[in-house]
Chains A and B, each alone.
Chain A
């Protein structure tokens, strides 16, 4: 018995703590994936009425048919609402409808919806596995904690999955020697992510805090270009409509996981709850500036802020915290993973 326990302790030491945690996280996540698919088989039916991808498709379809983006007209594909959290068939900026319009017009729904869903799932899975394999023990443990929300994000095909991938890639590009091409790429990612979800606009403050002026300028230029295309395709009325709906959503219903929801839970006045996203942005911008000599920490702080800043933050939205873990992993240019060097 003593010999056996001695052998297992030696075996554990030889195996390595990091490798053990990595294996645990991956096995745990695989079981969680099976469990979630068994509990919610609808996740593997992305064309179902009301799924995230079907909601994007429906928004694109409404745009193509000349219907309102933020309201359902007779004959539109059904999209559920949930007062007071969301009372319109599209919560985010209209850019997603503009992106989906050609997909809805040119491809059969089964191809466009499944294609997006598969891409979002693979990207989410890739970033998760990367974070586990190329990070430290702590990032692997954090990833394990985020596994359920990450699996749900991946399986729903939510745009968050693709944004997680884009922002993770942006981090690695930002750590390479600065070139015009790389700065433009970083700016485009920030602009596109902002145009899709608005919250990632806080990454613009990170660029400023880091003194990445060229990337910040590229973000502004790309943002203006995206706004112009959106205005041309969706019409100028879309801006006041979206701003009014965004204000209504911020004032009407905040979910418990959002910064506003957390402040509401603490009993703070409604005005503070409504102002929570702006407060988070200011605080994150200030912290990013304070931590400007520690780009990874500044990036992570901003990623945490982006996760909680929006009024509607669901459990699966917490998967966005994966972006905060990415700076603590090793890029491909930094040699082998800690797993390979632990002994």
Chain B
């Protein structure tokens, strides 16, 4: 049997071998108990590229529920005027960001709550504050 005929199978085996142990999942859950709407942005490898979520006062929800792919931050929180109020590195597996009633921000490890991910709303994406530079730059 020729190598050419075997090549699709070899490719599949190669990809499977490369993928083996590469699975890296992440999630981001955000809870805003403060009285102010905020924007949470996650930067891509510390570049200017970022994606962000609009988090109204009192809202809680997934930025993204557990999915395949790690995240490299940093993560930053902005107020309504796009002034950065918090920034921190984010773990490759994501995290759980909580804004308390006093305005404090805590970034914890990814939450296992809520158990029923479909019961919890996803947060809306926003391009607000997207032209802000990465906090580390």
Contacts and interface: CB of A to CB of B under 8 A. Distances in A.
What bracket does the count of chain A residues touching chain B fall in? 20 to 34
Contacts, number: 99
Interface string B1-32: 00000000001001110110011101000000
B69 A49 contact: yes
Contacts of B16: 111
Contact of A80 (B19, B51, B69, B131): B51
The prevalent SS among residues of B at the interface is: mixed
Contacts of A77: 64, 67, 69
Interface residues of B, number: 38
B125 A73 contact: yes
Contact of A72 (B14, B69, B125): B125
Contacts of A80: 42-44, 49-51
Q: Which of A48, A73, A82, A83 is packed against the most chain B CB atoms within 10 Å?
A: A48
Contacts of B43: 80
Interface in A42-98: 42, 45, 47-50, 54, 71-84, 87
Nearest to A40: B45
A108 B68 CA distance: 9
A171 to B, nearest CB: 23
Interface of B: 11, 14-16, 18-19, 22-24, 26, 42-45, 47-51, 61-65, 67-72, 121-125, 127, 130-131
Nearest 10 CB-CB pairings of A with B: A74-B122, A80-B49, A50-B44, A75-B122, A47-B69, A72-B125, A109-B68, A82-B49, A80-B44, A78-B51
Interface of A: 40, 42, 45, 47-50, 54, 71-84, 87, 108-111, 113-115, 118
